[in-house]
Structures are given as C-alpha cells and as structure tokens.
Amino acid sequence: MTRFNPFRPHSIVHPGMFAGRYDEMIALEKALFQTRNGNPTHFLIDGERGIGKSSLLVNVEGVAKGTFEPLEDPLRLNFITVNVCLDAAHTYSDIIRGIGSELRRQIASREQIKEFARGAWEFLSKWEIGGVRFRDDKRREAKDTELAEELTFAIARSLDSLGTGVDGVVILVDEADKPPASANLGSLMKLLTERLRLRGCDRVCIGLAGLPTLREKLRASHESSLRLFNVFALNPLSAEECMEVLRRGLAEAKDVNGFEVKITDEAARSLAFITEGYPHFVQQFAYCAFDADSDNNIDIDDLSKGAYAENGALKQLGLKYFEKQYFDQIWSDEYRQVLQVMAKHFDHWVTKAEIRKEALRLKASTLDNALSALKTRGIIAAKKGTKGTYKLPSRSFAVWIRAYTQTEELIASTPPGQAAAPDASNRDSAGPDSPVS
C-alpha cells in the first residue's frame, strides 16, 4: 500500500518539521527587532552543506514578513523580504540587480506605495536594457558604485512612501559563497550598508548564508566587511532534536494517511546515533526507513534496510553530497581504507604515522600513493607547513564514510544514549595487493 511519506530529503524543511535552532531563532528575532527600531543588525549563517542554512533562512523570512509567529515576541512582524540565491556565474552587478528586481517586485505589490516611489525603481529597467559590459575597469567600477547608489536610493524612497506601515526591509542572500572572488561580495556589502546608513535608511538588514568558506571570501574582498555581520555557525542537531524531527514527521503522516505509523524507541535512537544529527542525513534515513517499513511500525530492520538497500539512504546521500569524492575519483579499496581510518578522526588532523598504525594491512608505498592521490584530487586536505598531516574536508563526509562502512549489525547494536558512532569496520576492504587502476 502506498502511504504518504512525510520526510523530505530533497527540500528545505517546512515549518511543521523544523526542529531545534532555538538559540539561533531567538538571536535572529532580536536582530529583526533591532532593525525594526532603527538599529540594523546584519547576520551571516554558515555551515556545511546540508546542515540547514537555507531552512533557517526561510524560517527567518517567515517570521520577518509575518507568516510565522516569532518565538518570543507576541507581535507579528511586517518586513518586506527578499530571498535571493547566488551562483558561480554572478558578477557584482548581477548581485545588485538580482536583489533590486526582487525587491521591486515585493515593494510594488504593496498598495500604499506612491507613484514617485515606484519611479525610483526605473533605474533597473534602464540598467537591464543598457546592460553594457565595460571593458575599461575604471568605468565599470564607477558603474558598479552607481548601481549600488541607485538601489539604496530606491529603497529609501520606497520606505519613505510606505511609512510606518512596514517594519523595514530584510535582504536574504543564500549560497553567498558561490560567486567568484571577482564579484567582490565583501566590498558590495560594505558599500551597500554604508550608503544605506548615509541615506538614513536604518531599517534595512542583510542576512547571508553560505559554506564556511564565505567568511574568508568576504574578508579577502574587503577586510572589514566580515565585521558588519553577526556570525551564526550551524552545528548538527542534538539527539533529542532528531527525535523531534521524527515525531513531527510521523504526526504529519498520521494526519494525511488517517492511520498511525510508529517508530520503535530503539530505531529512533539508532537513527539519531548514525546520522549524528546532520539534518539532511536525518531526513534521508527517515525517508528510507519509512519507505522500507510495511507493517506501520518502523524498527531496526526497516532502518537498516532503508540505509543499505541498493538505492537506500547511504547511496542517495553519497550521490547527492559525496559521490564525486568517494566513488568517481577513487577506484581502489586501499584508498577507501585510508579514508575509513581518517573518518575515525572526523575532520581533525591525522598524521601519516597514525594512519599507518591503524591501516595495518596497507603497504607503506600503497599508503604513500593513496595519500598523494587523495590530496591531488582534493578529497583530503594537507596541513600547510606540516609534512604528512591530513584531514577530511568536512565532518559530515566523515560521518557518511563511517555509516557507509559500518556493518549492518552495528546499527542494531547502538549503545543507548551514546553520542559518538562506534568504530567503522572494514565493510568492503580488499586484500592489500588488489590492483590500483
């Protein structure tokens, strides 16, 4: 029988299943409150892929525009919000124009806006039509500054026209790590916030989200730009919060299906344990366990089946997040063994000597080859200035390798209430002399 599966490994979490992030939400609500009262507080959300940045951003957006109730304040907010997502092809002026067009649309939909303020946005069409690219750097720079200037002017005019009816403007920029260094996001932010202040536009706040590399990118673009932002680094959910995701999902399924699907305590605990609280892992494992279950009671077997099936959770996550790193680029089991040993140390630095000690079956020369190949392909990082010290690029990659290389029995033997995963055992290790293609 086909049942509605409530878990969403592929999309931003909807409010019904949004779990945890309580401290962040309270702090972000405060930032909105400050902005509303003329003390704009910009923020930056960073963390690994799949940790829940976009989901948090959407939740903040909902609170800002009054769709969701704030956690603490009884008062619903009424900001004009825009949420733009950047990509690797975005230039400096693309970013401003993208924000501008989205804002214009949002503002134009407000009835109260006066004609003169509508007119303030005409610069966008003008720029779009005359979107000439200047070869000469000086002229291009002047044009970029002018564009930021016009955007600020249009925002100021519109806010004046709307009066106290709105709380202000919230500009959300997702995947802000994506544009190349030449897009100069740090300078752009600096310029934009400065111009807004000069024009007395003090009810506008900017929120960025991106990978941890975003901070470095901002700093490289403009030294003090990072200081404009309150930084929130997202961590995995706690075991209790994972359970909350499961509870909420199953409650939603009950509503839609008209009957209950339960999960055993053991399976729930085990799921929190192997996923280590990574929200994208939680959604994917829960989705597959739900899918594998046939008696409306998700147990350890369903979890295990869902995880290891041909197209199960681990495969899906691998394809979506790590396949390039783990499969495409590495053909040999020796390489995988090295990764498995490194995964025991999560994303901490490990020396070659340590790896050697733990990967006993690897010959010294094989280990050398493996490390240098993994390094060249960007699968592991080498510590600058310290010879023979390496780490995995992200903690979630380590968690995935550990889960992937665990035997299924290990899922079943989750120690109650424990936070760290058991040692990965060699699930698919080949002999030391198998060919390296």
Ligand X SMILES: Nc1ncnc2c1ncn2[C@@H]1O[C@H](COP(=O)(O)OP(=O)(O)O)[C@@H](O)[C@H]1O
Least Å from the CB of residue 103 to ligand X: 22
Tell me the window of 50-58, 126-134, 148-156, 347-355 that interacts with Mg ion (CB under 5 A): 50-58
**Total residues contacting ligand X (rule CB under 6 A)?**
22
186 binds ligand X (CB under 6 A): no
Tell me the window of 4-12, 294-302, 339-347, 414-422 that interacts with ligand X (CB under 6 A): 4-12
- Bridge partners of 96, per DSSP, are none
54 binds Mg ion (CB under 5 A): yes
Footprint of Mg ion on 134-173 (CB under 5 A): none
State which residue, 232 or 335, has the beta carbon closest to ligand X. 232
Give the one entry of ligand X, Mg ion, none that residue 186 binds, where binding means its C-beta sits below a cut-off of 5 to 8 angstroms depending on kind.
none
Of 5, 6, 18, 70, the one binding ligand X (CB under 6 A) is 18
Question: Which residues, other chains included, contact 413 with Cβ-Cβ below 8 Å and sequence gap of 6+?
Answer: 422
Least Å from the CB of residue 245 to Mg ion: 17
Tell me the window of 43-51, 85-93, 297-305, 346-354 that interacts with ligand X (CB under 6 A): 43-51
Quick one: 324 exposed, middle or buried, by C-beta within 10 A (0-12, 13-18, 19+)?
middle
Least Å from the CB of residue 71 to ligand X: 13
83 binds ligand X (CB under 6 A): no
Task: Give 211-275 as a DSSP string.
Answer: -THHHHHHHHH-TTGGGGEEEEE--PPPHHHHHHHHHHHHHHHHHHHSS--EE-HHHHHHHHHHH
Tell me the window of 44-52, 176-184, 304-312, 349-357 that interacts with ligand X (CB under 6 A): 44-52
Footprint of ligand X on 251-280 (CB under 6 A): 279-280
Least Å from the CB of residue 85 to Mg ion: 8
83 binds Mg ion (CB under 5 A): no
State which residue, 323 or 358, has the beta carbon closest to ligand X. 323
19 binds ligand X (CB under 6 A): yes
How many Cβ atoms from other residues are within 10 Å of residue 160's Cβ?
Answer: 14
Of 6, 20, 70, 179, the one binding ligand X (CB under 6 A) is 20
What is the C-alpha separation between 1 and 113, in angstroms, rounded?
A: 53
Q: Which residues of 75-128 form beta strands (DSSP E)?
A: 79-85
242 binds ligand X (CB under 6 A): no
Letter string b/e over residues 108-145, b meaning 16 or more CB atoms within 10 A of that residue's CB: eeeeebeeebbebbebbeebeeeeeeeeeeeebeebbe
State which residue, 159 or 239, has the beta carbon closest to ligand X. 239
The pair of three-digit structure tokens given for residue 292, joined into one six-digit string: 């594998």
Quick one: 265 exposed, middle or buried, by C-beta within 10 A (0-12, 13-18, 19+)?
exposed
3-state secondary structure of 180: coil
State which residue, 64 or 107, has the beta carbon closest to ligand X. 64
State which residue, 10 or 227, has the beta carbon closest to ligand X. 10
Of 6, 13, 43, 343, the one binding ligand X (CB under 6 A) is 13
Q: Is the dihedral of CA 419, 266, 272, 68 positive or negative?
A: negative
168 binds ligand X (CB under 6 A): no
The pair of three-digit structure tokens given for residue 316, joined into one six-digit string: 């899906």
100 binds ligand X (CB under 6 A): no
Q: Which residues of 290-347 form beta strands (DSSP E)?
A: 297-298
Tell me the window of 36-44, 48-56, 102-110, 358-366 that interacts with ligand X (CB under 6 A): 48-56
What is the C-alpha separation between 376 and 364, in angstroms, rounded?
A: 18
Distances (CA, A) of 110 to 63, 171, 173, 382, 396: 18, 17, 22, 53, 43
How many Cβ atoms from other residues are within 10 Å of residue 99's Cβ?
Answer: 22
Of 36, 42, 53, 305, the one binding ligand X (CB under 6 A) is 53
Question: Which residues, other chains included, contact 373 with Cβ-Cβ below 8 Å and sequence gap of 6+?
Answer: 330, 335
Of 8, 247, 254, 262, the one binding ligand X (CB under 6 A) is 8
Give the one entry of Mg ion, ligand X, none that residue 147 binds, where binding means its C-beta sits below a cut-off of 5 to 8 angstroms depending on kind.
none
- Bridge partners of 351, per DSSP, are 389
Closest alpha carbon to 170 in 55, 75, 74, 41: 41
Of 5, 6, 21, 293, the one binding ligand X (CB under 6 A) is 21
Of 35, 41, 55, 337, the one binding ligand X (CB under 6 A) is 55
Give the one entry of ligand X, Mg ion, none that residue 21 binds, where binding means its C-beta sits below a cut-off of 5 to 8 angstroms depending on kind.
ligand X
CA angle 49, 55, 57 (to 5 degrees): 105
State which residue, 99 or 245, has the beta carbon closest to ligand X. 245
What is the C-alpha separation between 305 and 399, in angstroms, rounded?
A: 19
Binding site for Mg ion (CB under 5 A): 54
Residue ranges binding ligand X (CB under 6 A): 8-9, 11-13, 17-21, 47, 49-55, 245, 279-280, 283
